[in-house]
Amino acid sequence: MKNLFTFVVTISLIMGSYNFFPANHFDAESVDQKAAETLTYKKVEVNTKEASSTDHRFIKAEEKKLLARLVQAEAEGEPFEGKVAVADVVLNRVEHEQFPDTVKGVIYQKNAFEPVQNGSINEPASNEAVQAVETALVDKEKNVELLYFYNPETATSQWIFSREVVKKIGNHAFAI
């Protein structure tokens, strides 16, 4: 008898909640049946690296400023396309399993970028560098494979020359 009473009370509470919280914002009869029939679901596997990294559109303002300062320091005097590609390298590294999961972590990774070592990362970014970062964030599919860049005329690391160059923009070679 006690179980029956509990069951009736539970059902009453559930049914009563429809009166207090009506679902009139979704009227099944008003849904376009043809559109509903074409709706399909896609199974997506989530990589833990992807899940933990920041979607490019939602990176913190502080990280955008840091990235713009790096672009300024690394690509001053380079064409706009080269500045965007430098930003893409950092963003691609954030997404890549071999690198840290944040823009700040990538930029400050030991020996990753010369401007961190020589202090020029602390200089203000130009408007063009800021715009290059914004462009890289919006058009994130353009240079998705790039993980490295260097100036072949000034690079001293023999290791960097072992990377496969995908494109050259201005004075920089961009590699995977």
CA distances from 139 to 52, 58, 146, 161 (A): 21, 14, 14, 28
Q: Angle at CA 32, nearest 5°, toward 30 and 38?
A: 145
> Which pLDDT value is given to residue 10?
60
Mean pLDDT score, 1-24: 55
**Per the structure block, which two tokens stand in for 149?**
């860049």
Domains of the chain: 56-144 (1.10.10.2520)
Residue whose tokens read 């072992």 = 162
pLDDT over 60 (residue 86): yes
Task: With beta carbons less than 8 A apart as the criterion, state whether 86 and 74 touch.
Answer: yes
pLDDT tens-place string over residues 37-64:
444 433 444 443 444 344 545 688 999 9
In tens, the pLDDT along 25-37 reads: 444 444 444 444 4
